[in-house]
A = this chain, B = another copy of it.
Amino acid sequence: MATLAEKAAENLTILREKKPLIHNITNYVVMNYTANALLAMGASPVMAHAENEVQDMVSFAGALVLNIGTLTDDWIASMIKAGKKASEKGTPIILDPVGAGATPLRTDAAKKIIEQMRISVIRGNPSEILSLRHANSTTKGVDALHSVEEAAKTAGILAQELQTTLAITGPVDLITDGNRMVRVSNGHPLMARVTGTGCTATVTIGAFLAVDDDPFSATATALAFFGLAGEIAGEAASAPGSFMIQMLDALYTITPEKLKAGCKIQNE
């Protein structure tokens, strides 16, 4: 069986050969940066959010990315329409519940989206992910969670309840599908100083979902790749402006071999 480091190299190789179309319904803040990140790594981004177009667009896509960062009701409706179509066609969906837990609009929208489609992966920080628990979840009572490690205790149960892969990201990322769990420690502190780093991690997972049938390995390998890009950027830049440009460069220059050698994925 291939290790996850080998799988990472394989996924990146296939991604650059197939150049899958990734359909994004995402927030205004990060659209440009995530489109550039997808292009740099070898995927083909499209952003389209009109309710009367999303079903057509998602039909061409290798994956659908839903991100609620600058949400309004009409965008929720489009996300649900696109997500239902993607579910029908078996196209993988990744949800980034930006700000879930912070306002009722976001928490409710994230839950509504989860209920109405088959989501392969949800990526967020600990508070966002834990806000997605059902009212009767057995993971209740952990409202004060702040770190990935605290979230780890309940993430496995939540992944089983939501029947999805969860990626809880921070200095060390935790990935679980309820049965398996790994941690990815690639990354750099400056990633927290660039807007949309989390959203860009999400689209990277989206791209890997388009070439890897197993959402768990797609997520772990995508986050190792993305974190390695941060490490390489951090060698070339010491402040956030230069760093965010170097990140795009690294997503383009990292070879499958370099990724295999640089992966920091640990089994539990």
Partner of A103, one of B48, B69, B99, B195: B48
Tell me whether B71 and A50 are in contact (CB under 8 A). yes
Tell me whether A249 and B245 are in contact (CB under 8 A). no
Partner of A102, one of B40, B57, B69: B57
Q: Could you show 17 A-B contacts with beta carbons less than 8 Å apart?
A: A29-B35, A32-B33, A36-B244, A47-B70, A50-B72, A52-B73, A53-B103, A53-B104, A56-B104, A56-B105, A60-B102, A193-B252, A238-B253, A239-B250, A239-B252, A241-B249, A244-B248
Binary B-proximity of A221-256 (CB < 8 A = 1, otherwise 0)? 000000000000000001111101111111011000
Partner of A248, one of B51, B53, B73, B239: B239
Binary B-proximity of A155-196 (CB < 8 A = 1, otherwise 0)? 000000000000000000000000000000000000001111
Partner of A105, one of B32, B52, B250, B252: B52
- Number of A positions contacting B (CB below 8 A): 52
Give chain A's interface residues, CB within 8 Å of chain B: 27-33, 35-36, 39-40, 45-53, 56-57, 60, 69-73, 99, 102-106, 193-196, 238-242, 244-250, 252-253
Tell me whether A103 and B249 are in contact (CB under 8 A). no
Smallest Cβ distance from A92 to chain B, in angstroms? 21
* Contact A45:B249 (CB < 8 A) given known A32-B29, A36-B241, A40-B240: no
Bound Cα distance A74, B101 (Å): 25
